[in-house]
């Protein structure tokens, strides 16, 4: 399975943010979408998940030579600032999510999902409004695990997490990559190198692949940093 983008363009008035993106993402891999804050990473994700309209271009799933239209249930989206129904407990939230998504076939019990995400037992029946930022983020990630989408969009999901939860989330993301296409956006080069199989730079509104094998080369790092600095003037 592949996720193919052809000529994706998005502007806000006279400001062109995405300038004809062409790229093919393969399943079983984590792609690091690297770019500065304000470079268009969230706009890129919002175009794909249908939250905003695109100006032109197309994107679709491809299985061998068959083009498959991308449906909402094919997409899992995790944002840096988690949004959860704070009037529900964690257990009620997961139960409700499973009940309203007929297409979902859970392969674990709710407590087994909690165990998998290392959510303590005494948190599971507490109101979500009392959860820490990191635990709310884990709950968002659990929805992706339960629904098993073909395309997973992770928009700065490790932002503001403490070091232990960040490492736990990295391990979960790695464990879930098989059978899906994962695009992980970040503005941190070291995080992208540590977690991702391939890195793409969102540079001047287009995607540029970066060879991870060359990242130890100081000249390449300097070029990446220079490109990221240039984005500030270009946006």
The pLDDT score that the predictor gives to residue 165 is 87
Under the banding of pLDDT at 50, 70 and 90, the label for residue 183 is very high
Give all strands of the β-sheet with 151-155 in edge-to-edge order: 75-78, 151-155, 181-186, 29-34, 198-203, 206-210
The domain ranges of the chain are 28-51+72-234
What CA–CA distance (Å, rounded) separates 228 from 37?
10
pLDDT at 226 over 80: no
The pLDDT score that the predictor gives to residue 217 is 65
- With a CB cutoff of 8 Å and minimum separation 6, the contacts of 181 are 1, 2, 3, 25, 26, 27, 29, 31, 150, 151, 152
pLDDT tens across 186-218, in order? 888 888 888 999 999 998 899 988 877 766 666
Percent share of the chain, pLDDT over 70: 91
Number of Cβ within a 10 Å radius of residue 205: 22
pLDDT tens across 73-126, in order? 899 998 888 889 999 999 999 999 999 988 888 989 999 999 999 999 999 999
CATH 3.40.50.920 fits 28-51+72-234, yes or no: no
pLDDT at 159 over 90: no
The whole-model pTM stands at 0.88
Strands 56-63 and 66-68: what pairing?
Answer: antiparallel
The pLDDT score that the predictor gives to residue 235 is 46
DSSP string, 154-184: EESTTTT--HHHHHHHHHHHHHT-TTSEEEE
Retrieve residue 129's tokens. Answer: 């409004």
What CA–CA distance (Å, rounded) separates 229 from 183?
22
Q: What's the burial of 6, exposed, middle or buried (CB within 10 Å: 0-12/13-18/19+)?
A: middle
Question: Average pLDDT in the 166-190 region?
Answer: 90
């Amino acid at each position: 399975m592949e996720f193919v983008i052809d000529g994706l363009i998005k502007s806000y008035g006279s400001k062109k943010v995405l300038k004809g993106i062409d790229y093919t993402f393969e399943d079983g891999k984590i792609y690091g979408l690297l770019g500065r804050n304000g470079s268009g990473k969230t706009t890129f994700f919002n175009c794909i998940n249908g939250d905003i309209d695109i100006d032109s271009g197309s994107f679709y799933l491809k299985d061998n030579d068959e083009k498959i239209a991308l449906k909402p249930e094919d997409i899992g989206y995790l944002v840096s600032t988690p949004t959860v129904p704070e009037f529900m407990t964690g257990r009620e939230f997961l139960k409700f999510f499973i009940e309203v998504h007929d297409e979902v076939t859970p392969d674990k019990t709710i407590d087994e999902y909690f165990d998998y995400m290392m959510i303590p037992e005494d948190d599971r029946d507490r109101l979500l409004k009392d959860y820490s930022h990191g635990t709310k983020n884990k709950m968002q990630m659990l929805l992706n695990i339960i629904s098993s989408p073909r395309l997973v969009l992770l928009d700065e999901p490790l932002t503001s997490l403490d070091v232990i939860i960040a490492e736990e989330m990295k391990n979960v993301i790695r464990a879930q990559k098989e059978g899906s296409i994962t695009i992980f956006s970040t503005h941190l080069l070291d995080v992208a190198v540590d977690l991702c199989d391939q890195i793409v730079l969102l540079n001047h509104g287009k995607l540029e692949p970066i060879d991870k094998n060359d990242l130890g080369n100081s000249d390449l790092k300097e070029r990446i940093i220079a490109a990221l600095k240039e984005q500030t003037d270009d946006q």
